[in-house]
Amino acid sequence: MSRYNQPLGGNEMPRFGGPATMMRLPAQATAEGLDACFVGIPLDIGTSNRSGARFGPRAIRAESCMIRPYNMATRAAPFDSLQVADIGDVAINTFNMAETIRIIEEVYDGVLGHGCTPLTLGGDHTLPLPILRAMKKVHGPVGLIHVDAHADVNEHMFGEPIAHGTPFRRALEEGLIEPARMVQIGLRGTGYAADDFDWVRSIGGRVVPAEECWHRSLTPLMEEVRAQMGAGPVYLTFDIDALDPAHAPGTGTPEIGGLTSIQGIEIIRGCRGLNLIGCDLVEVSPPYDTTGNTAITGANLLFEMLCVLPGVECRT
């Protein structure tokens, strides 16, 4: 019998039954003894438009029930080489953003203290800030692969320094990210000023607008990104609104002209070989996801992230 946790199979329990965990994995109270964990952050008090991302983790888990343990394209077999479990949701304070940020950082201090790599189910895009604060204590400043329709480097939102449109401005100011090892992919739409997407470029990062991704494979781009990231620690943050609303309509701030789900997979698979120390998938808003397709896509992208973590074996 395998010493590693396994997702509950569809021939053992119907897919619509069993535990309501990510991929129907065992639930665990902490990250102790785990190599990687799925953790939910049911947060949307940082949202500026359509709310509902607080229900994202639950919906992603529900739609993950169809995912089987082997990646047939890449031959990745994460459950043959990593101990993985679902450690539940962070108990945020839904009335107090400052307190919520503190709680998230504290929880991730614990996860990282166990030597565990977190895969986060969001929740709105405010949540990488406290995660990156916890990451710096262990890894120092990290490289960042940021997949999104929006730059999320606003100076403030309604005078507030912390919201889902500001996390990477704060993270860069706090030295949590190495600017030369930061890339933003999929940015598009309208802005408040002509240079809205230029701030990251001005401090040494790379910006790849959605228009540069149209009608092409992103596999060559990811070869360049891997070279940019080098051997240092890398955090991957993936806002589901990076994808076109045709592929992921259930999100708070959709923008037309986005990436395809195939390009999203190419980006994640292109991270294989990097020193990934954490990943997140954010901004799934189930009230706007009437078919469940956005949550299904989010669940599969999280599985793809698991498949490219260091230590995952591929079966030939």
* Known binding-site positions for Mn(2+): 125, 148, 150, 152, 239, 241
CA 87 to chain centre: 16
Give dist(CA 105, CA 122) in Å, integer.
15
Binding site as annotated, residues: 125, 148, 150, 152, 239, 241
Give dist(CA 275, CA 142) in Å, integer.
10
CA 93 to chain centre: 21
Amino acid at 242: A
